[in-house]
Amino acid sequence: MTYRFSGHQTFVFRHGWLEKGVRLIQQNPHGFLDDDVLIKLGVGKNMVESIKYWCFQMQLLTDSAQAGELRLTPLAEKVFGDGRNQRGVDPFLEDDATLWLLHWSLMRNPTLSTWQLVFTRLNRPEFKKSELLYHIKQWVSGAAKVSDSSLLRDIECFVRNYAIQKKAKDKEENFDSPFLNLGLIQQTDEADLYRFNIGVKKSLPAELVGYSIIKMIEKRNTGLRVQNCLYDEDSPGQIFKLNEGALMDNVEELESKTRGAFHVDDTAGMVSIVYKGKSLLPVFADSLLDHYYSGTAVAK
State pTM to two decimals.
0.93
Q: What pLDDT is attached to residue 260?
A: 86
Helix axes 96-107, 206-220, angle to 10 degrees: 20
The CATH 1.10.10 domain(s) of the chain lie at 17-92, 111-196, 206-294
Rounded (to 5) percent helix, strand, coil in the chain = 50, 10, 40
Sites in the chain below the pLDDT cut of 70: 167-175, 277-279, 296-300
Here the contacts of 291-298 (C-beta below 8 Å, separation 24 or greater) are 291/207, 291/257, 292/97, 292/205, 292/207, 292/208, 293/89, 293/90, 294/89, 298/257, 298/258, 298/261
CB 70 within 8 A of CB 59: no
Contact of 127 with 118, CB cutoff 8 Å: yes
For residue 211, the model assigns a pLDDT of 95
206-294: in CATH 1.10.10: yes
In which element (H, E) is residue 112 found? strand 111-112
CATH, domain range 17-92: 1.10.10
Residue 287 DSSP symbol? H
CATH of region 111-196 = 1.10.10
Paired with 263 in beta bridges are: 274
pLDDT given for residue 170 in this prediction: 54
Q: pLDDT at position 85, please?
A: 84
pLDDT tens digits, residue range 100-129? 999 999 999 999 999 999 999 998 999 999
* Model pLDDT for residues 227-278, shown as the tens digit of each residue: 999 999 999 999 999 999 999 999 999 999 888 888 888 887 788 888 876 6
CB 50 within 8 A of CB 58: no
